[in-house]
């Protein structure tokens, strides 16, 4: 039987919004071309357009900027920093700005973060999510430091973190921080009403997304220092079981909210499912 074909008109409308969002980002990306790879933009704008098709390109803009910011800074840590001292310096700058400090004018990632934060603070949800966002930001970037150190240890001694440690540090991939930013940027008060359930569901979605990415990208990353579950000795079957369990927990938590058409829950479920489909053919990193 041939696969069921998606509605071409609807697919065209959604793709058009992704294209509009991509084009709108152009001037901002030009300012940050030295550290954000524009190869991330097409898959990220497509993910948002398909996961949250009710959003206009304007409504996607702030969330897209932050996701691209996370991708860019993750690459600075993973690929450009050569020493632990460099990693610590980068992360310290960003965490300081996240807590309200003024950035150095020549530090483009920090300037971009300060601009994004200034807009996030105008969200009607900031009073509820602001402190959680700052804590999660710090946890995410300290997790990146931890992961960098684990990768260095694996490269120099052959002994990296245990799989359980790796999974416990899943916030280091930024997925959950990005989702909280999505909710702040979207301004939907339903995110406040269901905050704890959404945050817990996002944790399980983060594990599933990270490990799905590991399976998709481990061959490309074989000669790089990035950690992934395959490098730590996990088999595809073991990783698949983690993904299956995490996805099931996420779906159990989101099920009642999705049935009630709570948009932050729909957005989270759909972004995870989009990624699962996308990773069958590519990954987000150029």
Residue 2: the pLDDT is 57
- What would the two tokens of residue 33 be? 């071309």
Q: Is residue 15 part of a domain?
A: no
Q: What is the pLDDT of residue 1?
A: 46
Quick check: is 107 in a domain? yes
Q: How does pLDDT run across 161-216, given as a tens digit for each residue? A: 999 999 999 999 999 999 999 999 999 999 999 999 999 999 999 999 999 999 98
CATH number assigned to the domain comprising residue 127: 1.10.600.10
Residue 95 lies in a domain: yes
7 in a structural domain: no
Contact between 79 and 98 (Cβ < 8 Å): no
**For residue 66, what are the domain limits?**
59-278
The pTM of this model reads 0.95
Mean pLDDT of 272-282: 89
What does the pLDDT average to over 28-35?
A: 96
In a domain, 32, yes or no: no
pLDDT digits 0-9 by tens, 58-98: 889 999 999 999 999 999 998 889 999 999 999 999 999 99
125-141: per-residue pLDDT in tens? 999 999 999 999 999 99
Query: Can you read off the two tokens belonging to residue 142?
Result: 């300290």
Distance CA 175, CA 152 (A): 23
- Domain presence at residue 140: yes
Integer Cα distance of 203 and 43 in angstroms:
22
Q: How many domains does the chain have?
A: 1
Mean pLDDT along residues 217-228 = 72
Cα(70)–Cα(64) distance, integer angstroms: 10
Look at residue 193 and tell me if it is in a domain.
yes
Averaged pLDDT, 218-247: 86
Give percent of the chain with pLDDT exceeding 90.
86
- Does a structural domain hold residue 174? yes
């Amino acid at each position: 039987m041939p696969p069921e074909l998606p509605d071409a008109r609807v697919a065209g409308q959604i793709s058009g919004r992704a294209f509009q969002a991509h084009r709108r980002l152009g001037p901002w990306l030009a300012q940050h071309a030295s550290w954000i790879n524009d190869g991330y933009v097409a898959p990220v704008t497509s993910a948002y357009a398909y996961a949250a098709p009710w959003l206009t390109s304007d409504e996607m803009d702030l969330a897209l900027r932050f996701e691209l910011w996370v991708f860019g800074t993750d690459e600075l840590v993973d690929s450009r920093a050569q020493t632990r001292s460099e990693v610590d310096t980068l992360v310290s700058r960003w965490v300081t700005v996240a807590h309200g400090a003024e950035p150095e004018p020549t530090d483009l990632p920090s300037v971009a973060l300060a601009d994004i934060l200034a807009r996030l603070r105008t969200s009607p949800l900031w009073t509820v999510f602001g402190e959680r966002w700052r804590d999660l930001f710090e946890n995410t970037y300290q997790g990146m430091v931890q992961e960098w150190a684990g990768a260095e240890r694996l490269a120099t001694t052959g002994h990296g973190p245990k799989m359980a440690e790796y999974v416990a540090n899943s916030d280091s991939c930024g997925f959950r921080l990005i989702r909280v930013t999505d909710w702040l940027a979207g301004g939907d008060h339903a995110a406040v009403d269901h905050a704890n359930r959404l945050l817990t569901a996002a944790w399980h979605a983060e594990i599933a997304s990270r490990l799905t990415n590991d399976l998709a990208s481990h061959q490309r990353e074989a000669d790089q220092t990035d950690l992934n579950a395959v490098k730590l000795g996990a088999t595809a079957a073991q990783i698949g079981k983690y993904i299956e369990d995490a996805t099931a927990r996420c779906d159990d938590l989101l099920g009642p909210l999705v049935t009630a058409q709570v948009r932050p829950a729909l957005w989270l479920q759909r972004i995870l499912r989009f990624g699962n489909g996308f990773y069958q053919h590519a990954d987000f990193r150029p």
